[in-house]
């Protein structure tokens, strides 16, 4: 199945995008299509931009936090002691 069966293809543009690792990718776009500002690098997955000298910064990944780490961010040690004392009092039947 070639162009004879499908018809003429639309005029295309190949645009270069570079990621922060220096990888270049050249996706093709229809000549009348709007070209995006960034494109995901197929080699490393980082965002790539059209400016070779100033590619977009890689995304910042947050380290994994446990449930306890999130609780410690929201509560002070004094709050934790008060909650623990209340829970122990309930278990002992004092409340």
Helix ranges (H only) for 1-95 are 3-6, 67-74, 77-92
Q: Is residue 12 a contact partner of residue 29, using CB atoms and an 8 Å limit?
A: yes
Give residue for tokens 């910042």.
60
Q: What is the pLDDT of residue 2?
A: 55
Give per-residue pLDDT as tens, 2-12. 566 777 788 99
3 state DSSP class of 27: coil
Give per-residue pLDDT as tens, 26-81. 999 999 999 999 999 999 999 999 999 999 999 888 888 899 888 888 988 899 89
Whole-prediction pTM: 0.59
């Amino acid at each position: 199945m070639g162009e004879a069966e499908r018809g003429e293809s639309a005029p295309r543009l190949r645009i270069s995008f570079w990621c922060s690792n220096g990888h270049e990718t050249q996706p093709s776009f229809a000549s009348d299509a709007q070209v995006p500002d960034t494109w995901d690098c197929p080699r490393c997955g980082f965002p790539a931009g059209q400016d070779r000298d100033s590619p977009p910064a890689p995304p910042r990944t947050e380290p994994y936090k446990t449930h306890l780490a999130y609780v410690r961010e929201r509560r002070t040690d004094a709050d934790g002691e008060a909650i623990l004392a209340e829970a122990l009092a309930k278990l002992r039947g004092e409340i």
